[in-house]
Amino acid sequence: MIELIPAIDIINGQCVRLTKGDYAMKTIYGSPQEMAMEFERIGYKRLHLVDLDGAKSKHIVNGAVLKNITSKTKLIVDFGGGIKTDDDIEEAFRLGASMVTIGSVAVSEPERFMGWLKKYGADHIILGADVRNGKISINGWKEDSSEDLLPFLAKYVDAGVTKVLCTEISKDGTLAGPAIELYQRVMATYPGLHLIASGGVSSIEDIKALEAAGIPAVVFGKAIYEGKINLQKLWDWQNA
């Protein structure tokens, strides 16, 4: 059964969605806290929460939103965006995150990432692998690194990473369907990985297709806010 993880992206304390990571292509959807409480009311257990201001500024900016959600719900929150230093990751956990998603640091400071993996454990660290034209992208998708996806994953899976959030940036926010072939390549290489697919999900049918392809988990956001996915119907399908 595929794990369903609704997403909330934050800019200036508001729930937003970007298209292909472009901050100029932003749609505002309202209160993150209200959305999170609605997810929990329906029955969802997980939340993927991204501080887009933090990703851009290279430090946590919307920590108050994280605290509000973790204090008002029992959702298991994985938090990403702007976690660059030891103080940042400690702050994220202090504010109630159960897990953190780390991408840029894994590229630019692998020793620091390895240290966090050892200190906090693989259950609490999600490796962020955001892909554009086959390369890992960093710092709020503003920069492309020289890292290719599968070799990038290899060194960290070998080091003990068990959870990876993989976003195909060209798909993100487009509602054009997920990059199933990309995720299948990852799963074929690392069949034991808890891979979280992200980007392009436009319907319950897309999620069913990911499940049929053997993908363990999916993050979806814009399809919720644009009315393409009915959260109650999705929950009922999975729990029938």
Residue type, 193: L
Is 9 catalytic? The answer is: yes
Q: From the candidates 9, 53, 88, 172, which is the catalytic residue?
A: 9
Instruction: Say how far apart CA 88 and CA 169 lie, in whole Å.
Output: 25
Q: From the candidates 53, 78, 88, 130, which is the catalytic residue?
A: 130
Residue type, 207: I
CA proximity to 85, closest of 102, 66, 65, 64 = 102
Catalytic sites, residue numbers? 9, 130
